[in-house]
A and B are shown apart, each in its own frame.
Chain A
Amino acid sequence: MAKQIYTKYEMARYLRKEALPTALCPGCGGGTVLNAFANAIDQLKIDPRDLVVVSGIGCSAWIASPYFLADTLHTTHGRAIAFATGVKVGLPDKKVVVISGDGDLAGIGGNHLIHAARRNIDITVILVNNFIYGMTGGQVAPTTPFGAITTTTPYRNIEHPLKIAETVASAGASYVARWTTFHVYQLIESIKKALNVKGFSLVEVISQCPVQFGRRNRMKTPAEMLRWFSKNSIPISKAKNMSPEELEGKIVIGEFVNKEKPEFTEELNKLIDEVAQYYSLGGEDAD
């Protein structure tokens, strides 16, 4: 039965079929993100052979690996962007994409995220923010809303969530956007833009983890979570005229940054050319 579905699903050609069906829970937002990413690649007609996908550890990391059929580096928890930095410097002509979770990229790996944005290295990061450490059983994440119940904040969360898109924007990325799994078409468009931007790009996707987050926070079903995303989302243009109090608990969606800025690997290669010319070393026929 499973096989049949995959032949009907057009995007299946971008997936490692032997790894399917995915290990994601039914109703998990991860599937939506995978689908959006595959559609973006398809619409841009990017040959997956020109793509390297890097991920960390967590449910969201599995979206890219093993499911996406490209050169894939499934790395250690939190470090995907650092690994991707080496890949991108080594293969500056390839598109390098990191797909991983909020705990992975903004918690344990937060430092790599900030500094890659600061360097403005041409890596596209799709950060799946489900407000929770899903894979390990629903522990509090740096993104968990104030007051939420998790397995390590069984009474309530007394910490405040990190605003990832805003943080990365101020760190200096070329492109930053936030959408939710409810806003699938905007998400696909945004991933396409991110892939085409020369520089560091982040697409934060607010995603549902009904099993580890929703269930403990009065949103048992995926549908309830999506409804919550839809009701609570505020376009960035509107949010600009709202007070912090009015924005409390809201999800600001849209494009935060889209600007041209010198990119790291291009600057690296410019530097190598400059230096090589100055010292007339470099090439085989230099002397």
Chain B
Amino acid sequence: MRYPFPVGAADFIQGDEAIARAAILAGCRFYAGYPITPASEIFEAMSLYMPLVDGVSIQMEDEIGSIAAVIGASWAGAKAMTATSGPGFSLMMENLGYAVMTETPLVLVNVQRSGPSTGQPTLAAQGDVMQAIWGTHGDHSLIVLTPATVQEAFDMTIRAFNLAEKYRTPVILLTDAEVGHMRERVYAPNPDELELVYRKLPVNEEEAKYPFGDVHGDLVPPMPIFGKGYRTYVTGLTHDERGRPKTVEAEVHEKLIKRIVAKIENNKKDIVDYETYELDDAEIVLISFGIVARSAMRAVKELRKEGIKAGLLKLNVVWPFDFELIEKIAENAERMYVAEMNLGQLYHLVKEGANGKAEVGLISRIGGEVHTPGEIVERIKNDLR
């Protein structure tokens, strides 16, 4: 297999472009999308590359159709992806829930822009954190990854596919207009350097009878994809292990939903990912994710220079959420701050995690500009005064 872009080499590319290339290296062969700033470059790159790797990229009539086609393609056996931004993300919510309920692996990229509504189409925001986690109705769990650099956008796209396939779940790559449009150096590994995960398929007819049964005791059923003669029945209605609708039986609903949630929550240790900087003796702990984490990192350096014991926790996954980790850090901290480009979303999770062990402040910024490190430093110094 040859790739229409450099592999085993570095290149200087946009975040959106990196996501497209990484998806193809991860084995994505179906893309469906609808144009929207600042995610369109992903779609354009996919349209250019897909036919060259025997893949397909199609434009649907709206974002509802895009994610629907992606789910259909995933059941047809393909690794599949779509990408969008705020307005389109909102339109995808119903079928995102369908993907959760039917345990359909897929990757949904949200290159965040300012909202609500059409908002600031070209400017970055982190206002969709709660929507990514809780936007679709009903009890559920899924996975949300948050890259801060173009290289991370690349690496996390591959990881997003691996997690989607491993846990048979939709995975959201929650990035933003800054990362999406910024150009940085990205190393694309050789395909043989990559560890790729593929969904478990049933090994025999018997296993295929339980498309939604915990047949291996790992909470993730093998997926009897279409076209293999299994006659699988897939529905968004509450269903039993065989996939049969059971819409009024409380036990069936409870068992299904609890397993779907548990397969994510019980594997938190495997899924959660974070980085720390100067955290060991930190009295002031900054918590951030995505593009803002880069300013926060810089702010920590500045604060240290001024003799303030600051540290950073950079979250690469915002769901599932490691509440225990936050509590442990809170125990040794005097104050914690969440820096994010919204009016306080991750903040609420951190506050819950801190469990009163440390005070939690919010350093919020909206309007399309990323916090400057100086802004963060000033705010903290002000509070300490």
User: Which residue numbers of A lie inside 8 Å of B, CB to CB?
Assistant: 16, 18-19, 48-49, 52, 54, 65-66, 69-76, 79, 82-91, 93-94, 111-112, 114-115, 268, 271-272, 275-276, 279, 281-282, 284, 286-287
On chain A, the residues within 8 Å of B234 by CB distance are 72-74
Say whether chain B's binding surface is mostly helix, strand, loop, or mixed: mixed
On chain A, the residues within 8 Å of B95 by CB distance are 76, 79
Report the separation of the CA atoms of residues A271 and B73 in the bound assembly, to the nearest whole angstrom.
19
Question: Cβ of B80 < 8 Å from any Cβ of A?
Answer: yes
The answer to whether A272 and B54 touch across the interface, beta carbons within 8 angstroms, is yes
Partner of B72, one of A65, A70, A82, A114: A82
Partner of A82, one of B68, B233, B236: B68
On chain B, the residues within 8 Å of A19 by CB distance are 244
> Of residues 45 to 83 in B, which have CB atoms within 8 Å of A's CB atoms?
51-56, 58, 60-62, 64-66, 68-78, 80
B72, B77, B235: residue with the most chain A Cβ atoms closer than 10 Å? B72
How many residues of chain B have a CB within 8 Å of chain A?
47
Question: Cβ of B245 < 8 Å from any Cβ of A?
Answer: yes
CB distance from B366 to the nearest CB of A (A): 32
Report the separation of the CA atoms of residues A27 and B349 in the bound assembly, to the nearest whole angstrom.
54
Question: Cβ of B248 < 8 Å from any Cβ of A?
Answer: no
Report the separation of the CA atoms of residues A150 and B191 in the bound assembly, to the nearest whole angstrom.
60
User: Which residue numbers of B lie inside 8 Å of A, CB to CB?
Assistant: 1-4, 30, 32, 51-56, 58, 60-62, 64-66, 68-78, 80, 94-95, 98, 226-227, 229-237, 244-245
Partner of A111, one of B61, B71, B98, B226: B61
Report how many A-B pairs have Cβ atoms within 8 Å: 148
The answer to whether A111 and B237 touch across the interface, beta carbons within 8 angstroms, is no
The answer to whether A66 and B65 touch across the interface, beta carbons within 8 angstroms, is no
On chain A, the residues within 8 Å of B227 by CB distance are 52, 71, 90-91, 93-94
The answer to whether A79 and B68 touch across the interface, beta carbons within 8 angstroms, is yes
CB distance from B21 to the nearest CB of A (A): 14
On chain B, the residues within 8 Å of A114 by CB distance are 61
CB distance from B84 to the nearest CB of A (A): 15
A72, A114, A284: residue with the most chain B Cβ atoms closer than 10 Å? A72
On chain A, the residues within 8 Å of B70 by CB distance are 86
Partner of A271, one of B51, B65, B72, B74: B51
- Name 9 A/B residue pairs within 8 A (Cβ), A-sorted: A72-B235, A73-B234, A74-B245, A76-B94, A82-B65, A89-B72, A90-B226, A114-B61, A275-B51
Partner of B30, one of A89, A275, A279: A89
On chain A, the residues within 8 Å of B60 by CB distance are 82, 85, 115
